[in-house]
Amino acid sequence: MDSQRPTRASPPPDSTPPSVTFILLSFIAIAAIVLVPTASSSFKNSLSIVHQVPEGHVGVYWRGGALLKTITEPGFHMKMPFLTQFEPVQVTLQTDEVTDIPCGTKGGVMIIFGKIEVVNRLHKESVYETLLNYGVHYDKTWIYDKIHHEINQFCSSHSLQQVYIDVFDQIDEKMKDALQVDCTRYAPGIEIIGVRVTKPNIPESIRRNFEQMEEERTKVLIAIEKQKVSEKEAETVKKMAISEAEKNANVSKILMEQKLLEKDSARKQEEIENAMYLAREKSLADADFYRVIREAEANRLKLTPEFLELKFIESIANNTKIFFGDKIPNMILDQRLLGNFLVDEVSRGAAIKKTKADI
């Protein structure tokens, strides 16, 4: 009968009900939601699996406190939670502000630089070496602490007058050069772009003295500028007078040259008129001389013996007086002798005129 008794199945092994597992996961999720936002950044970075590297940064990693050589670019990346820690490091231009820097001048006066800004950049290829030697807060060593040191060095070797007024415009370059020299030597990946130093705060009594000195200096500068203005005005008046005199002299010179040109033109015109008159008179004289010569030659050609005899006969014929008697007056000569005499006289007169003309 026992063999006919049905066998009972053995109970299943103990296991956590699904509801308990769901409750446990929910509790972990709620704890993560509540605790992670309030936790430190390093804790969150070690807890997270997926992390983001922002633009202008690179991601660096530590595992068990040791810096890894892995450098990631901006974007989303994955890491092992709890074991690997992550930090973003900026590799673009950044400005570090160092505030409230006390220093003592060469004369023992304490002053405070309220703020000094240092523009710097960490080169991407030097991130690993820089962080390996100086940690994430490398700028504290080479910028914040270094600025304090260099400012105190500068103040201790200069007087208050020099620090506050005389060489204040040189502090920026001196700080930049001092920082860059040490960074180049010990941390080559750090580049110092520029340094901006604000005016230091000095004791009130000394500041009032400086203000009074500046006021007096301003008065002196104003007086000097007024003197320069007066000199410039006098120089301007002088230049205007010289310019006016030069203008009048130039006008007089032009007028004189104009009158001289007019006189010269009139002289040339008179010379031309005289030459024309002389040529005209000479032409008239030559014409008269030529006319007389031609008339003399014509008369000489006329005074032939036959012509003279004809004229003599005509003259005798025209004479109304007739003389009779034994004695005839001496003036009645032989007509041939008279004709020869007249021809010789005419020839001699023509020769004399020709000689005068040749002369």
Residue 354's pLDDT is 64
Bridge partners, 121 (sequence order): 191
d(CA 262, CA 256): 10
Residue with structure tokens 């066998």?
7
Residue 89's pLDDT is 94
pLDDT by 10-residue block (mean), the chain, 359 residues: 40 49 55 44 67 93 91 91 90 94 90 94 93 92 93 91 88 93 92 93 83 84 90 90 90 91 90 91 89 83 75 70 58 52 63 62
Residue 34's pLDDT is 43
Q: Kindly tell me the burial class for residue 45, based on how many C-beta atoms sit within 10 Å of its own C-beta (0-12, 13-18, 19 or more).
A: buried
d(CA 246, CA 235): 16
- What is the distance in angstroms between the CA of the first residue and the CA of the last residue of the chain? 204
Task: Name, in order, each residue with C-beta under 8 angstroms of 292's C-beta and a sequence gap of 6 or more.
Answer: 353
Q: What is the pTM of this model?
A: 0.50
- Contact status, residue 58 vs residue 70, Cβ threshold 8 Å: no
Name the DSSP class of 198: P
d(CA 108, CA 110): 6
What tokens were used for 40? 């430190």
Residues in the chain: 359
Residue 82's pLDDT is 83
Residue with structure tokens 């068990």?
64
